[in-house]
A and B are shown apart, each in its own frame.
Chain A
Amino acid sequence: MNKAEQTEIKVEQEAGVSPEQDQGAVPMIEIKGLSKSFGSFHALKSLDLTIARGKVFGFVGPNGAGKSTTMSILATLLSPSSGYAKVDGFDVTKHPAEVRKRIGYMPDFFGVYDQFKAVEYLHFYGASYGIPKKEREELIPQLLELVNLSDKRDAYVDTLSRGMKQRLCLARCLVHDPDLLILDEPASGLDPRARIEMREILLELKAMGKTIIISSHILPELAEMVDEIGVIEHGQMIAQGNVSEIQNRLRVKRILYIRLLERLEEAEQFLQEQPHVTRLMRDERGIHVHFSGQDLEQAELISELIAAGYRIISFSEGQTNLEDVFLEITRGGDGFE
């Protein structure tokens, strides 16, 4: 980098303006050809993603698909092997300090300083973001109110429940009023009540106009607040679009339940070899078949079973819900080809 470029960047940083901000609206997140390898393991393979300001983006994928890696790169905690990621126009590798100012990051697993009181915990992070004490004293009660922890203000962090710690961590993300929230599985390990509380807080944040990128395995619960969904597997984005689009695309998938008089194991083997069968689950009396074919293929499947001599008690078509859909996508089925 020559001296002139260095000076230019310095000026941009001092002004707090990204290189592209003056050229009109910049997407909050812009990822292009992003790859990350750990030795021979490719965690991300040329990922592209753009998220506009104020949008809530749901990131779905099985464990190890690359969600956390993408989020860590956005949070300046990992450097990409190739490609680039920009937050508010700032490249995460070139202007990490500017990026950090703009993001609130909540990792999937995080620790807390147990010996701190809830209020001290927030003061520490507030101070770490350079917020003066006077401002913090006004801000922190509001944050505790937002995450429903006002009554736990002076409780030591190690006495808080997991759900409370999760909410405290969310308040920590908000302490410097970031534009972008990167939330990696914010509801993992929470009981249903705590999940609902978390969702309500997220809805409030959405209403405040924050851009949120959230990964979750409880995405069906969040479907109403997410504007767009991206499905990632083996480090590649395999589907991306708004929620209703994805739902429509997935409705063609069916779950069939076949009850048989005998030879369940054999039938399972047989079904596995049939076209359009993406997944099988056997219980004591029958087999659940995830089926990607249409009516014609379904009729053929029944005929094949009968022709092979299996005695069918019943054959029914179940309703697919979003949860099944996500299970289906994230196990690498052929539903999106």
Chain B
Amino acid sequence: MRNDTVSKDWRSKLINPVLDKEFRLRMRTPRTMWTLLAYLFAIGLFALSSIYLLNMSSGNAASFNPSESRMLFYFLSFVQLGLISFMAPGLTAGVISGERERQTLNLLLTTQQSSTTIILSKLLSSLSFMILIVISTLPVYSMVFLFGGISPAQLLLIFFFYLFLMIVIGAFGILFSTIVKRTMIAVILTYGVTLFLYAGTALIGYVAIMVSMQVSGSSASNEWIVHIFSWNPAVAMYSILDPNITREIVYSGSGSTASEPFLQLWQEFMLIYLVLAALAIWLSIRYLRPRMKQSGK
């Protein structure tokens, strides 16, 4: 029997075999290049057409004012948010079920790699590719900086928010990929969850406010109800772009705007989804291999 001592060099500590395999294989398929191209084409198209439209509406092609530039940044940030939400399910919902369909999963599961290593490596490799894509859109953002109106801190926070959202959607994608046999179903379920995060939470929030206003008979809504909006990625991101929005939403009913809310909406969002993403990853790890009964005899 071979002694399974893992080599001690730094590379083997940072990059396990599964991650190494994922990196290599991803970069060897033409699909990777086409995905990157399509993404950059889409965001470039949005950016250039919005600059053109702003130009037209301002009527003065020679000057830009910071508020217009900020509008452009908001617009681009939401486009990027939409594109990430569209891309993340497609990139993650097939990582396990795809191996199952290609009949390579069983071979991988009989190796010494732990379920945790396999799941986390798969998530990390998908994340790395998404990060590569988002970073490659930075030149588009640099156009906004050229015109001013946005702080670098805000930009960093937005990118941090993107990263977080990728982890959240990626965790759900991997969970469905693990527990559902077929990639197609896993992809549909992940898109379903993503759609719910946006449209579902917005609708629930809106209906809840309407119902509470009906019940209480006043135009003021309960304070806790507005926190439903912190489940919504678009609202959460808007609270980064416009920090006042949290106060406006949270105190929309009470009329009191004196104190700052305890948490910004995006902070609430991160707390909630950190728990959910961790749960999804934990379930994926648990269900990757069959549940072995301890009372085997």
Please give the residue numbers on chain A whose beta carbons come within 8 Å of chain B beta carbons, in ascending order. 1, 16, 72, 75-80, 84, 91-94, 96-97, 100-103, 105, 107, 109-113, 115-116, 120, 124-125, 127-135, 169, 172, 176-177, 179
Residues of B within 8 Å of A177, CB to CB, are 1-2
Contact B290 A110 (CB under 8 A): no
Contact A113 B112 (CB under 8 A): no
For the complex, what is the distance from the CA of A45 to the CA of B232, rounded to whole Å?
51
Contact B24 A100 (CB under 8 A): no
Q: How large is the interface on B (under 10, 10 to 19, 20 to 34, 35 or more residues)?
A: 35 or more
Residues of A within 8 Å of B6, CB to CB, are 130, 132
B7 at interface, CB cutoff 8 A:
yes
Contact A124 B21 (CB under 8 A): yes
Residues of A within 8 Å of B18, CB to CB, are 128
- Minimum distance in angstroms from B10 CB to a CB of chain A: 13
Which one of B18, B103, B110, B112 has the greatest number of beta carbons of chain A within 10 Å?
B110
- For the residues of B in contact with A, the DSSP-based class is loop
Contact residue among A79, A100, A107, A115 (Cβ-Cβ distance under 8 Å from B290): A79
Contact B4 A129 (CB under 8 A): yes
Contact B290 A77 (CB under 8 A): yes
Residues of B within 8 Å of A135, CB to CB, are 2
Contact A120 B290 (CB under 8 A): no
- For the residues of A in contact with B, the DSSP-based class is loop
- Minimum distance in angstroms from A133 CB to a CB of chain B: 6
- Minimum distance in angstroms from A85 CB to a CB of chain B: 8
Contact B290 A179 (CB under 8 A): no
What are 13 contact pairs spanning A and B, CB under 8 A? A77-B109, A77-B289, A79-B291, A96-B289, A107-B103, A111-B104, A113-B104, A116-B24, A125-B107, A129-B111, A131-B4, A134-B7, A169-B107
Contact residue among B20, B24, B102, B110 (Cβ-Cβ distance under 8 Å from A75): B110
Contact B111 A128 (CB under 8 A): yes
B106 at interface, CB cutoff 8 A:
yes
For the complex, what is the distance from the CA of A159 to the CA of B29, rounded to whole Å?
15
Contact A179 B24 (CB under 8 A): no
| Residue interface mask B98-118, A partner, CB < 8 A = 1 | 010011101111111100000
Contact B112 A130 (CB under 8 A): yes
Contact B5 A130 (CB under 8 A): yes
Contact B293 A127 (CB under 8 A): no
Which chain A residue has the least Cβ–Cβ distance from B114?
A97
- Minimum distance in angstroms from B16 CB to a CB of chain A: 8
| Residue interface mask B234-264, A partner, CB < 8 A = 1 | 0000000000000000000000000000000
For the complex, what is the distance from the CA of A124 to the CA of B2, rounded to whole Å?
16
Contact B28 A128 (CB under 8 A): no
B294 at interface, CB cutoff 8 A:
yes
For the complex, what is the distance from the CA of A131 to the CA of B18, rounded to whole Å?
14
Q: Do A132 and B5 contact each other (CB < 8 Å), given the known contacts A107-B107, A125-B111?
A: yes
Q: Do A129 and B1 contact each other (CB < 8 Å), given the known contacts A115-B28, A124-B20?
A: no
Contact residue among A84, A103, A113, A115 (Cβ-Cβ distance under 8 Å from B297): A84
For the complex, what is the distance from the CA of A94 to the CA of B297, rounded to whole Å?
10
Contact B292 A100 (CB under 8 A): no
Residues of B within 8 Å of A111, CB to CB, are 99, 102-104, 107
Which chain B residue has the least Cβ–Cβ distance from A120?
B24
Residues of B within 8 Å of A76, CB to CB, are 109-110, 289-290, 292
B139 at interface, CB cutoff 8 A:
no
Contact A101 B107 (CB under 8 A): no
Q: What 10 A-B pairs come out closest when comparing CB atoms?
A: A130-B4, A127-B17, A111-B103, A128-B111, A93-B296, A132-B7, A111-B102, A93-B292, A115-B28, A111-B104
Contact B112 A128 (CB under 8 A): yes
Which chain B residue has the least Cβ–Cβ distance from A33?
B297
Contact B4 A112 (CB under 8 A): no
Contact B111 A110 (CB under 8 A): no
Contact A113 B21 (CB under 8 A): yes
Contact A77 B294 (CB under 8 A): no
Contact residue among A79, A101, A116, A132 (Cβ-Cβ distance under 8 Å from B293): A79
Contact A94 B111 (CB under 8 A): no
Q: Do A107 and B106 contact each other (CB < 8 Å), given the known contacts A79-B292, A101-B112?
A: yes
For the complex, what is the distance from the CA of A129 to the CA of B106, rounded to whole Å?
14
Residues of A within 8 Å of B29, CB to CB, are 115
Interfacial residues of chain B within 1-60, with CB under 8 A of chain A in the complex? 1-2, 4-7, 12, 17-18, 20-21, 24-25, 28-29
Which chain A residue has the least Cβ–Cβ distance from B27?
A115
Residues of A within 8 Å of B112, CB to CB, are 97, 100-101, 128-130, 176
Residues of A within 8 Å of B297, CB to CB, are 84, 91
Contact A109 B110 (CB under 8 A): no
